[in-house]
Amino acid sequence: MDNGSLDLHLLKENSLLAWDTRYKIALGLSSVVMYLHEEWEQCVLHRDIKSSNVMLDSNFNPKLGDFGLAKLVEHEKCSKTTVLAGT
């Protein structure tokens, strides 16, 4: 992705993201999670959301990557998952 991962922007010493860009990223990422949890045919539990797994395109739109720990769960069972996984 054009702007790399979110962690590069959060951890870089001289790279401050403007508040409107931060808001755009947070809103976009929350939309992704809502889609995965509620709108896809099965509930997708990513289980490893962290800044290094959030890729940013040229307009700083977030894309969630690394679904290696993801689980598919039927919607009626989705809210009952309580075990933590990932890093």
- E-assigned strand segments in the chain: 43-45, 54-56, 62-64, 71-73
Round to whole Å and give the CA distance between 81 and 87.
17
Is 48 one of the annotated active-site residues of the chain?
A: yes
Please state whether beta strands 62-64 and 54-56 pair in parallel, antiparallel, or not at all (unpaired).
antiparallel
Among residues 2, 7, 20, 48, the one annotated as catalytic is 48
The residues assigned a catalytic role are 48
